[in-house]
């Protein structure tokens, strides 16, 4: 008998429909609520978090007003997470069509790059917090 190895890749087709329901619930929450949302998925390794994200992303309307920024903390182990998150977010804003779509108001790309540079400079100079022993 030949052993079957299960592939550890996120899927878009959810045979059990459980991950699809979570992705649909998140999309519905975002569509029908005011303001921006920050949503974190927590679960054990292999529980389907990446599949939920992939299914969610595949259900986003093209050229819609919902933009997904994915940040994988695992890829930044050993780095200051706040800095890595903000650098990635700035890069995402600069690299996408947010400027053409007017999603960040009337700020021009050059001004946004200046804001990014100043924020990153402040992050480097931010004092470390110390906690009482």
Determine the Cα–Cα distance for residues 54 and 48; give it in Å rounded to an integer: 10
pLDDT of residue 85: 87
pLDDT of residue 62: 78
What are 69-78's contacts with CB under 8 Å, separation 24+? none
Q: Token pair for residue 47?
A: 């529980």
Ranges of residues in the chain whose predicted pLDDT is under 70:
63, 97-109, 123-133
pLDDT of residue 127: 47
Domain range annotation of the chain: 1-65, 69-127
Determine the Cα–Cα distance for residues 111 and 36; give it in Å rounded to an integer: 23
Does residue 98 contact residue 67 with C-beta atoms inside 8 Å?
yes
pLDDT of residue 22: 93
């Amino acid at each position: 008998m030949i052993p079957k190895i299960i592939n550890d890749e996120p899927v878009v087709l959810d045979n059990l429909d459980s991950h699809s329901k979570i992705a649909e619930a998140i999309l519905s929450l975002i569509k029908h609520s005011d303001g921006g949302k920050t949503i974190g998925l927590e679960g054990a390794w292999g529980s389907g978090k990446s599949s939920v994200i992939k299914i969610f992303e595949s259900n986003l309307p093209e050229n819609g007003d919902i933009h997904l920024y994915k940040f994988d903390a695992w890829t930044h182990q050993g780095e200051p997470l706040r800095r890595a998150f903000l650098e990635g977010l700035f890069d995402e804003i600069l690299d996408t069509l947010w400027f053409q779509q007017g999603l960040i108001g009337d700020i021009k790309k050059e001004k946004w790059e200046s804001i990014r540079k100043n924020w990153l400079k402040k992050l480097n100079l931010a004092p470390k917090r110390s906690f009482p022993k």
